[in-house]
Every structure is written in structure tokens, then in C-alpha cells.
Amino acid sequence: MLNNSTKLEIDYDKLATLVSDKLAQKLTTHRLIPLHQARVEILHRKSPEWIKHYLVKPYGDEILFERGANTAWMNEPSGTGHRVYVDPIKATKWVKAHESEIDWRSPEPITLRRAAGLSPQIKRN
């Protein structure tokens, strides 16, 4: 509590600088997006199973937050009911850097399993 004899002096320039720095930091911090949104916007509309098979398994050390890489942009899929989130800025940079290494026309993993006889074929009438 301030009494009448105490004056509060405020350096408005310093306060303005602190507030603008805090706002700039808030605005430049990017947010995570759910995998279903990242699939459409960044990952060429590939299925979650395709992403796990062709991206997470071979490049997991680079892309998963849990493995601690600087380039990490996705949390590890933990099974049914656990949401997967993606850092859109890092994911976009990583995908552009690895665009030529990834065969985006690779078949869905279920197609590979059916061809190998590990999954039942689709019944057609």
C-alpha cells in the first residue's frame, strides 16, 4: 500500500520495451497443430499409417520430440486415443529438405501387407 508521501516513478520507455518484447515473443512462438491438419497442409494428404510407416520408422530420430533432435516436429504416436501433434514450421522445413528422399507415391502399408499375404484381400462381388 502506498502512502501519500511515496511517489511511484515509472520509466515508460522501459515499460514499453518490455511489453513489446513480450508481445513479439508471444507472436513468434508457433503452436502445434493436430496430425489430421498437418496431413492436409504439409504431408501430401497421406494417411496416419503411411506417415508412421514411411516417415516415423525411418526418420524417427530426426522428427520425434521424444528422441530429442533439434529438427523434431512431431510427438510420438502412442496408440489409439492419443493425439499426435505437429510443429508446422519445423515440419514444413523438414519436409522441404527431405522432399527428394521420400517417395510420396509409395503404396499404403495395408496394400503392401495384402500383397505379401499378411492381410486379407478385399472381397469383391
Model confidence at 1: pLDDT above 90: no
Model confidence at 111: pLDDT above 90: no
Model confidence at 30: pLDDT above 80: no
| Distance, CA of 37 to chain centre | 10
Run of H or E residues at 23 = helix 12-28
Confidence of residue 24 (pLDDT cuts 50, 70, 90): confident
Report which listed range, 12-21, 35-44, 103-112, is most confident: 35-44
Contact 18, 68 (CB under 8 A): no
Contact 87, 30 (CB under 8 A): yes
Instruction: Select the more confidently predicted residue: 68 or 12.
Output: 12
List, in sequence order, every residue forming a beta bridge with 74; answer none if it has no partner: 64, 86
Model confidence at 2: pLDDT above 60: no
Q: How far apart are CA 33 and CA 74, in angstroms?
A: 10
The average pLDDT across 31-36 equals 92
Helix (H, G, I), strand (E, B) or coil at 30: coil
